[in-house]
Each structure stands twice: as structure tokens, then as C-alpha cells.
Amino acid sequence: MSPSSYRIVVATGSAFVALAGMMAAVLSLFYDNLRVFSYGSAAMIVGMAIVVVALKPASLDDD
């Protein structure tokens, strides 16, 4: 696997973490559970941030 393939795998995994965090946050609003809402929101934010960083195109300048 090339290094860019590893970045795609990491981005895919973190996208699923973000989706699970979103599901946890929404379900915790139904069941009025503040702790799960906090952890779900944090997982969603971290997952989205990792997706953005992992899929950011690398610079082609070798200065």
C-alpha cells in the first residue's frame, strides 16, 4: 500500500467514528443523557477533524 492509501483508510475509519458520535449525540437527546451527548459530540468533532486532515492534499513543492 502506498502512503496515500493509508491516509484514505484512516479517513474512512474516522468518518465512521464521526457517524457513531452523531448517532450517540442524537440518541442521548432522546433519552436525556448529558454524558453520552458530550462524548458523542466530542467523537463527532474529532472524527470530522481527522477526515479533513487525512484527506488534505499534500504540497507538491520540494523547496
pLDDT tens, position by position, 42-61: 999 999 999 999 888 765 54
Over residues 3-55, the pLDDT tens digits come to: 678 888 989 999 999 999 999 999 999 999 999 999 999 999 999 999 999 88
User: Considering only CA atoms, which of 24, 16, 20, 22 is closest in space to residue 50?
Assistant: 16
pTM of the predicted structure, to 2 decimals: 0.79
CA angle 20, 47, 5 (to 5 degrees): 110
For residue 54, give the amino acid letter: A
Q: What is the radius of gyration, based on Cα positions, of the chain?
A: 15
Distances (CA, A) of 39 to 3, 4, 10, 13: 31, 30, 20, 18
